[in-house]
Amino acid sequence: MPNFNDNQKKREYLAYLAAKIILNSEEISFKLAKKKAAKQANLLKKTLLPSDDEIRFHLQSQRSIFKNENGKDKTQGTELIELLLLVMEPFLEFNISLTGPMVEGKENPSKEINFHAYTDDQKKLEYLLIDRDYKFSIADRKFWFSGCIRKIPTYIVETNALSFNISMFSRKTIRQKIKNNPNGEFILIAGFEKLKYLSNKQS
């Protein structure tokens, strides 16, 4: 997998994101879609903006990548992992990790994408979401720590490219084992580097 410092990779992502914006909007120009994509991805250098032809390619291919014949989301494999890595990158200071079946290289039947972030500065994480122009709501989710139940604030984020949840834990719990329910298994997590390794393994 190309390094995410690779400008061509970022350009491809902007083309993908601009195509997604166009598909989700009734009337929007290529120029405006590029600007919206750049702002959302926080990739504002003009040299990173894709051409109209690059966006057209993603418009043609996106439905086959992200939708099955019934119109349901079926994103899996390397394409999704690379997108998740791009989503995670701005949140690395919060020790963000992916949870769920993809941590073990398995398919994600529920299609729900969940992240754990560790910080004692909730507002800082929230400001980052706002700065990236993400639409989000906040709800408490229940997790179990050593048999004790705790309510954890969870950001439910909607973007043109992806919907995901970020549960925000205290830094002091970063090495604690967590469950979704008292009788379930411990939640497996994969940080940024582990997910990059998984992507390379699938390539």
* Mean pLDDT across 127-134: 86
Confidence of residue 105 (pLDDT cuts 50, 70, 90): low
Decide: pTM greater than 0.75.
no
Is residue 161 in some structural domain? yes
The answer to the question of residue 26 being in a domain is yes
Identify whether 78 is part of a domain.
no
Mean pLDDT of 174-192: 88
Q: How confident is the model at residue 27 (pLDDT cuts 50, 70, 90)?
A: low
pLDDT in tens, 153-164: 999 998 767 789
Other CB atoms within a 10 A radius of the CB of residue 141 amount to: 14
Cβ contacts of residue 189 below 8 Å, gap of 6+? Answer: 97, 98, 99, 103, 116
Same structural domain, 110 and 196? yes
Assess contact for 141 and 152: CB atoms under 8 A: yes
Q: Would you state the structure tokens that stand for residue 89, as one six-digit string?
A: 């990158």
- Confirm whether 81 is domain-assigned: no
Structural domain range at position 174: 93-202
In this structure, the answer to whether residues 58 and 110 fall within a common structural domain is no
Residue 12 included in any domain? yes
CB atoms within 10 A of CB 115: 23
Residues 48 and 141 in one domain: no
Q: Is the pLDDT of residue 75 over 50?
A: no
Same domain, 127 and 190: yes
Determine, yes or no, domain membership for 84.
no
- Predicted confidence at residue 97, as pLDDT, reads 94
pLDDT of 141 reads 94
**Domain containing residue 160: CATH number:** 3.30.460
Q: Does residue 79 have a pLDDT over 90?
A: no
pLDDT band at 182 (very low <50, low <70, confident <90, very high): confident
100 vs 12: CA distance, rounded Å? 27
CA atoms within a 13 Å half-sphere pointing along the CA-CB vector of 156:
6
79 occurs within a structural domain? no
If one counts the domains in the chain, the total is 2
CA atoms of 80 and 13, how far apart (whole Å): 12
**Cα separation, 177 vs 73, whole angstroms:** 31
State which H helix or E strand residue 123 sits in: helix 122-131
Tell whether the model's pLDDT for residue 194 goes beyond 60.
yes
Higher pLDDT, 196 or 128: 128
Same domain, 143 and 46: no
Q: Give me the mean pLDDT over the 20-49 stretch.
A: 83
